Amino acid sequence: MPDMLVATSYEEDFSVECLLQELLMALVGYTGDVFVDTSSGGLNDELLEPDRCTVQLATDLNWVSPQDREALDDLVRLGFHYRQLQRFVQQEQQPCSRLSRSLYRQALCAGLAEVLAVYEDEVVLLQEQLLQQGAGRGLPGLKYQLAELQMLLPQLHQLAYDLRRRRLPVSEGGAAPAAAAAAAPAEEGLQVPREARGAKLLCTLHSHRLNGQPLLQACLQRLLWHVNQVLFNQLTMWMVHGLLADEGNEFFIRPRDATRDSSSSSSSSSSSSKQEQQQDDTRPAGDSNSARQSATGAASSSKHVPNRSENETYKDWLEAFEVALHELPPGVTPHLATSVEFVGRAVRLLRAPPASAKLKQLQQSCSSFGRSACGSSTGVADDQQQLLQQQWAALEQPQQQLLPHEDTLAFAQALRMLQQQPVFSQAALERTVEAIRADVASRLWQLLVVQAGLMQHLGAVKDYLLLARGDFYQCFLADAAKLLAGPPREKTANSDLAVPWQSAAMKSTAQDDPHFKLFRLVLRPKPADHAADAPAAAAAAAAPAAAGAAAPASSGAKPLTVPSFDSNWDGMALEAQLPWPLGVLITPSHMKRYNALFQLLLRLKRVQLSLEQTWQELGRLCGRGGGGTSASDITPLLQLRQHMGHLVGNLQIYLQLDVVESNYARLQEKVAAAQDFEEAERAHDRFLQALVAQSFLGSGILGKQLSEVFGQSAALCRLVKGAREDGIDWPQVQELHAAFNTTMGSLYVNLQSKTLQQYDKAPYLRQLHLRLDFNGYIKRQNKRFLDVQRTVTTSYRQQRQQQEQEELQQGRRAKAQQGRQQGQQAAV
């Protein structure tokens, strides 16, 4: 201060030119007494608002003319912006920053540092000029030379400020900045997670890029490029190596189990290297990479890699990863994201098949794999490279390379090409991803269809789960008849079932079938709630094939209703142990639906067989060939049986022929022609969907009526069995007949009802209807039935009316009597 006072006295000797050195120092952040920083200093981590410049020419330099002061203040504002940006960058790179770690922001900082370096160079240049030429061109010259940067830095500062506050210009508008700044320390804890990161950061950059200044555009373009490097690195890691390199949890593909994410940041941030910001490539450093892998938490395979079990690979495939749809960076459509996610999962699957999977060995792993995989990152230190190599070597089972090395290289190269493009192109990315997806999908198709024999196994699924191997089931049900007649023994039910299951295989065509041993019949416990059959089906069919974990809730199908037949044994379900990669196509949720169909078909078969047995018994009852005289006596029983048999038989034929076989033929065609896993997957999905829809498992009414028919058939069989000893219980026959007619009547009505017809089921309902009522008998019968009902109801109504009238009359009479009595009493 005293110097200043002295200075004032030599007013004439001072000119603005004397301040230029000071100005240059201030421009690179070194303020002093001439250019004063009025902010509270570097203690506060908060970025200052760009609009409120705290650096200015000291007010007590009164000899500076207002015009010059304005010009100087204007220029020195650059220093303010520079300082703030520098602080932003430095904070990002501090090892123990309280900021959550974000690769995207780090990349952005690298970009910003680049801009700042340009700025610094400029300032140095200016200083040189100043030293060489003296005051030279003076203030206007400086102004001229810094004009471009004056356009840039404030905007960048604004960007940094926005990012830090995660306040997009639009979203929060003119919220009182002073108040925010004042309250900042208090809010600190809250503000940490509010920093822009990941896709949000990219979005902010994009929105800033949309401006009319070519220079600024170019600059932001460059920053975007920097950040996109991270995105591309992540894409490469994921799509080429199947790894999530996402320690900041910013990638749009996430491990589904998000509970362990936070654990990573603390351990990894300890040794974050500074070198990466200096490189164009912001490739993550090796040591943090390992942390990033563990960031994938439970889903990560890194720990289990050497010998993953089949269940782990299924888990990995089915439920370990998901697309974070709200985290999609600009230019990545949901469709693209799904493709990317698929590629990564597929690569994981293809590159790390479980140790138990005995697949054909394709070729020996290439020893140079590690190098090529990270060949893109030329700047990465050797030790990092080794580390990566080790990890990959662990992930890669050298003897089972399902994804050829050349493909991996090609993927990496394609992505690398894109990465190097100065401008991000959505179309190019989509093309590349699609190319990779197509390749991986065809490899996976190859693996499933050619190597693992998908079609044969789908055939086996049809044979056993859909009862196409009829003779086997016939044998099984005959052998198991005794067992099924009684209630199951709780503890040994499964092994009890295994006996006829195995013996039937010995006696039928299943004997020569290598796929038979993949299936196991089990009795699933009855659901607690007996009344509701729907959860029964769901519980009964819980996740048998793989993983043992519940299927993702996203399958979201409504519970399937399987008409019940035998409360003791309705829980019978099939468990399938399909060889390894097939579980990716036939998932637990698929198995659930297959089992619902299985249960329906098995019950139908049981009813049909018992009705056939009854046919034989009835034949014996009336003498062979009906030659006996009693034939006409049991005609009602015969007819009832015939009708039931007709219904059950035709329903089966409908299901097996019109539904299963027709759809299966289509599935076979589609899968064979697909050459692409995802198409095959879709075809299989559609197949099963069609099966479930066309067998009306979703329809509660039809299910209920079928249950009734099953029950009535069982009752008839019991009745006939008892008839040999005790004679025919005619009242019961009559009752059964009436009940069956009622059920058939309503079933028939339902088959044609509008509510059911409305769905896409209409054509299938008609198909079933055609089979059931080919000769129009039920229609006629039903008409009669309805007529009878109508007369019954009308006569009932008439009766009621009569009764009511009588009651009324009685009441009147009673009242009259009472009145009379009262009158008499009164008289007395």
Partner 1 sequence: MPREIINIQVGQCGNQVGSEFWRKLCSEHGISKDGMLEDFATQGGDRKDVFFYQADDEHYVPRAILLDLEPRVINGIQTSDIANLFNPENIFISKEGGGAGNNWASGFTQGEQVQETLLDMIDREAEYCDSLEGFTLCHSIAGGTGSGMGSYLLELLSDRWNKKLIQTYSVFPNQSESSDVVVQPYNSLLTLKRLTQNADAVVVLDNTALDRIAVERLHVENPTFAQINSLVSTVMAASTTTLRYPGYMNNDLVGLIASLIPTPRCHFLQTGYTPLTVENESGLVNSSIRKTTVLDVMRRLLQPKNLMVSPHARAKDLASSRYISILNIIQGEVDPSQVHKSLTRIRERKTANFIEWGPASIQVALSKKSPYVQSAHRVSGLMLANNTSIRHLFNKIMRDYDKLMGPNNSRRAFLDPYAQFSRFSDGNGALDLEEFMDAKDVVTSLSKEYEACERADYIQSEF
Binding segment for partner 1 (CB under 8 A), chosen from 94-102, 256-264, 385-393, 609-617, is 609-617
Residue of 233, 280, 234 whose CA lies nearest to 253: 234
The alpha carbon of 443 is separated from its chain's Cα centroid by a whole number of angstroms, namely 22
Name 245's Cβ contacts closer than 8 Å, sequence gap at least 6.
233, 234, 237, 238, 251, 284, 289, 292, 293
In the chain, the largest separation of any two C-alpha atoms, in whole Å, equals 146
- What are the backbone dihedrals phi and psi of residue 199, each rounded to the nearest 5 degrees, phi first? -65, -35
The answer to whether residue 66 forms part of the interface with partner 1 (CB under 8 A) is no
The answer to whether residue 490 forms part of the interface with partner 1 (CB under 8 A) is no
Closest contact distance (angstroms) between CB of 562 and partner 1 is: 18
- Nearer to partner 1 by Cβ, of 318 and 644: the residue is 644
Binding segment for partner 1 (CB under 8 A), chosen from 308-316, 401-409, 631-639, 713-721, is 631-639
The answer to whether residue 326 forms part of the interface with partner 1 (CB under 8 A) is no
Closest contact distance (angstroms) between CB of 616 and partner 1 is: 6
List residues bridging with 56 in a β-sheet: 36
The answer to whether residue 468 forms part of the interface with partner 1 (CB under 8 A) is yes
Residue of 540, 547, 519, 539 whose CA lies nearest to 461: 519
Residues in binding contact with partner 1, number by CB under 8 A: 68
Interacting residues with partner 1 between 508 and 527 (CB under 8 A): 508-509, 512-513
Interacting residues with partner 1 between 733 and 752 (CB under 8 A): 734, 737-738, 741
Instruction: Give me the DSSP letters along 499-518.
Output: HHHHHHHHHSGGGG-TTGGG
- Nearer to partner 1 by Cβ, of 177 and 626: the residue is 626
Contacting partner 1 (CB under 8 A), which of 93, 385, 650, 753? 650
Q: How far apart are the C-alpha atoms of 602 and 236, rounded to whole Å? A: 49
- Nearer to partner 1 by Cβ, of 658 and 729: the residue is 658
Q: Is 597 helix (H, G, I), strand (E, B) or coil?
A: helix
Q: How far apart are the C-alpha atoms of 230 and 510, rounded to whole Å? A: 56
Instruction: Give me the DSSP letters along 53-72.
Output: --EEE-TT-TTS-HHHHHHH
Q: How far apart are the C-alpha atoms of 31 and 34, rounded to whole Å? A: 7
Interacting residues with partner 1 between 270 and 299 (CB under 8 A): none
- Per the structure block, which two tokens stand in for 209? 């890029």
Contacting partner 1 (CB under 8 A), which of 46, 250, 678, 773? 773
The answer to whether residue 643 forms part of the interface with partner 1 (CB under 8 A) is yes
Closest contact distance (angstroms) between CB of 611 and partner 1 is: 8
The answer to whether residue 662 forms part of the interface with partner 1 (CB under 8 A) is yes
Contacting partner 1 (CB under 8 A), which of 649, 698, 703, 711? 649
Residue of 234, 219, 222, 394 whose CA lies nearest to 302: 394
Contacting partner 1 (CB under 8 A), which of 402, 618, 683, 717? 618
Say if strands 253-255 and 321-323 run parallel, antiparallel, or are unpaired. antiparallel
- Per the structure block, which two tokens stand in for 230? 């991270």
The answer to whether residue 636 forms part of the interface with partner 1 (CB under 8 A) is yes
Closest contact distance (angstroms) between CB of 691 and partner 1 is: 13
Name 237's Cβ contacts closer than 8 Å, sequence gap at least 6.
243, 244, 245
Contact 132, 26 (CB under 8 A): no
Binding segment for partner 1 (CB under 8 A), chosen from 245-253, 415-423, 654-662, 795-803, is 654-662
Closest contact distance (angstroms) between CB of 734 and partner 1 is: 5
- Per the structure block, which two tokens stand in for 462? 């049809």
The answer to whether residue 619 forms part of the interface with partner 1 (CB under 8 A) is yes
- Nearer to partner 1 by Cβ, of 546 and 647: the residue is 647
Question: b/e per residue, 537-560, with b = 16+ CB within 10 A?
Answer: bbbbbbbbbbbeeebeeeeeeebb
The answer to whether residue 626 forms part of the interface with partner 1 (CB under 8 A) is yes
Closest contact distance (angstroms) between CB of 508 and partner 1 is: 7
- Nearer to partner 1 by Cβ, of 168 and 455: the residue is 455
Which residues sit at the interface with partner 1, rule CB under 8 A?
A: 467-472, 474-475, 478-479, 504, 507-509, 512-513, 608-609, 611-613, 615-616, 618-620, 622-627, 631, 635-636, 638-639, 642-643, 645-647, 649-650, 652-653, 656-658, 661-662, 664-665, 734, 737-738, 741, 767, 770-778, 780
